[in-house]
Structure 1
Amino acid sequence: MDADLIRAVSPPCLLGESPMWHPREQVLYWCDIPGRRLHRLDPATGQTQHWDFPVEPASVAPALDGTLRLAMRDGLWCFDPATGKRERLAAPPYDPATERFNDGKCDPQGRFWVGTVYEPRDPALAALYCWDGTTLSRRAEGITVSNGLAWSVDGRTMYWSDTKAHAVYAFDFDPAGGGLSRRRTFAEFPKRTPDEPLDAYGGRPDGAAVDSEGCYWVAMFEGQRVLRLSPDGVVLQEVRLPVRCPTMPCFGGPDLKTLYITTACEKRPADELAAQPLAGCVLALRVAVPGLPAHVACP
């Protein structure tokens, strides 16, 4: 474990996801998907707050008008943390009995991109959608577990991963219209073999974030690590973690040099949880290169 890795928040989530440093509020938001809860932490005061929902919130993004965008099993929502009220923007474009929204972020132009998880895991029926403020449209498909959304510093490359396939993809991204082209494999990781010990497994790519040098930080679920990849997909740095299942990093703090990492403890073996008491907690690590601020959704 890295010596300067610290526990940021307690108690643990079942499946912490979508950490987002709010660029205006200067606080951290994140979701507990199966816990059906949205959390907020003010690191300056240590104050925490949470909101409970009737269905799973999977990802959160800031909006210009002070509200939040929430991707949930039952659609896309505008949520006001000041009042606790939510207003649905779009119905789910899938059968909520077998699919739900998952990883989601805004692009530099304020469009909200959200992928899905096809819960039976086979066939690969999950997809990627884009909400432009008026219309929800399907933009990519052919995967099982959508994750890893991020944009390059110049906003002309979009990253997207399929966790089950152990692959991260890159697209040429058209900033003006949000068009995707030239899909290619950015990084690929070995799948776990049936007889491979979990301690020897490197994990599969989950959520991600890009720093100001254009490097892609990705949480390796079940791999007990976060990797920093160059813009060419080469591993530059490995951060070992005290928990088996990191889910997503984001950059926060006033200087954007604190790497917050959500983690999971849901359905993990009892002996693993006993050995890893921080499982499910949000971790924080100081890094040398600052990240990019979260993009803000247009009203």
Structure 2
Amino acid sequence: MADTEAPELVWDLRAELAEGPVWVARDRAVWFVDIKGRKLHRYGVDDGSKTSWDTPDQTGFALPAVDGSLICGVRGGLHRFDPATGRFTRLIAVEADRPQNRINDGFVAPDGSLWFGTMDDSEATVSGALYRYADGALVRHDDGYRVTNGPAMSPDGRTLYHNDTVNRRIHAFDHADGVLTNRRVFAETADGFPDGPSVDSAGVVHVGLFNGSGVARFAPSGESLGLIRFPVATVTKAAFAGDDLRTMFCTTAWLGQSEAVRLQQPTLGGLYRLRAGTPGLPQNLVRV
């Protein structure tokens, strides 16, 4: 991959835990959350406009739905967010039996189903799981994570990737018709913890590295393709955006960083942009 430019800071909002950037073509904006700051943010790619909303609780993702709303993973349940009114409405409870958990990262499959993970908010116990929400039903597909991130899916939809962050492992599953089989280790990260994943049109898996100062790239075989380096330590996720899907927007965070590191890297928690050599995949819409 030949990047045409170095990462550029476009929003110095210094979020504690910015996560889940997503390109929403219909309003030409990148949406993302600050989980710990309990905020939902929108960045307009044409005019650089910046808008923010308070969320009801810690929110791991905000993903576009077919009806014009965003489906948000708010702690305790999935919510519909109406951008016109700023109102959140709960759709379904999530893990009422695991009150210590919160919802983390999420992904929309080509069939409109919503996949997402949960995790212990204190990162102490392996109470996190992987879910699929479709046709009003919530199904648990995997279990036993301290911190989940992802999932993401290969261009042909036959492989689903999901990160076991604390153990520095990226898992792969065989996927067919909403069913997962054959869980295996796809890759491991030596420097930094694998945070949010995304996949480009060539099937290359991009993984934000928490405390790894960049975005790691892996071939569909699991072979390391190197690192896109950033000027900050914690990159949480990349999203492919723009008309050609070759502009990457990456969220970062200052969570867990020492005062010394934050002084050295004052733009931790900002939103970055760079150009990619290969386009990403179109963003799917949640069917609700």
Structure 2 residue identity aligned to 1:182: N
Cα-to-partner distance string for 1:103-159 (whole Å, 9 max, x where unaligned): 011111011111011134343121011110311111111211110311100011100
Aligned pairs (5 A) from 1:279-294: 279-294=268-283
Structure 2 residue identity aligned to 1:296: L
Cα-to-partner distance string for 1:28-69 (whole Å, 9 max, x where unaligned): 000000111100011201111111023111111111110110
TM-score w.r.t. structure 2 length?
0.95
Is the contact made by 1:60 and 1:105 (CA closer than 8 Å) also made in structure 2?
Answer: no
Q: Secondary structure at the match of 1:114?
A: strand
Whole-angstrom CA distance in 2 between matches of 1:105 and 1:230 = 20
Structure 1 residue identity aligned to 2:286: A
- Counting aligned pairs with the same residue, the percent is 38
Structure number with the higher strand fraction is 2
Partner in structure 2 of residue 63 of structure 1: 65
Whole-angstrom CA distance in 2 between matches of 1:85 and 1:119 = 25
Cα deviation for residue 25 of structure 1 reads 1.8
- Runs of at least 4 residues off by over 2 Å: 94-97, 119-123
1:210 matched to 2:210? no
Is the contact made by 1:73 and 1:96 (CA closer than 8 Å) also made in structure 2?
Answer: no
1:134 matched to 2:136? yes
1:109 matched to 2:98? no
CA RMSD of aligned residues (A): 1.4
TM-score w.r.t. structure 1 length?
0.92
Aligned pairs (5 A) from 1:75-90: 75-90=77-92
Whole-angstrom CA distance in 1 between matches of 2:61 and 2:134 = 16
Partner in structure 1 of residue 230 of structure 2: 241
Gaps of at least 5 residues in structure 2 are none
Structure 2 residue identity aligned to 1:254: D
Is the contact made by 1:148 and 1:168 (CA closer than 8 Å) also made in structure 2?
Answer: no
Residues matched between the structures, number: 285
Is the contact made by 2:76 and 2:95 (CA closer than 8 Å) also made in structure 1?
Answer: no
Q: Secondary structure at the match of 1:255?
A: coil
Partner in structure 1 of residue 23 of structure 2: 21
Whole-angstrom CA distance in 1 between matches of 2:135 and 2:271 = 31
Structure 2 residue identity aligned to 1:267: G
Whole-angstrom CA distance in 2 between matches of 1:54 and 1:148 = 22
Q: Secondary structure at the match of 2:85?
A: coil
Whole-angstrom CA distance in 2 between matches of 1:244 and 1:120 = 21
Whole-angstrom CA distance in 2 between matches of 1:15 and 1:57 = 10
Is the contact made by 1:19 and 1:261 (CA closer than 8 Å) also made in structure 2?
Answer: yes
Whole-angstrom CA distance in 1 between matches of 2:55 and 2:272 = 24
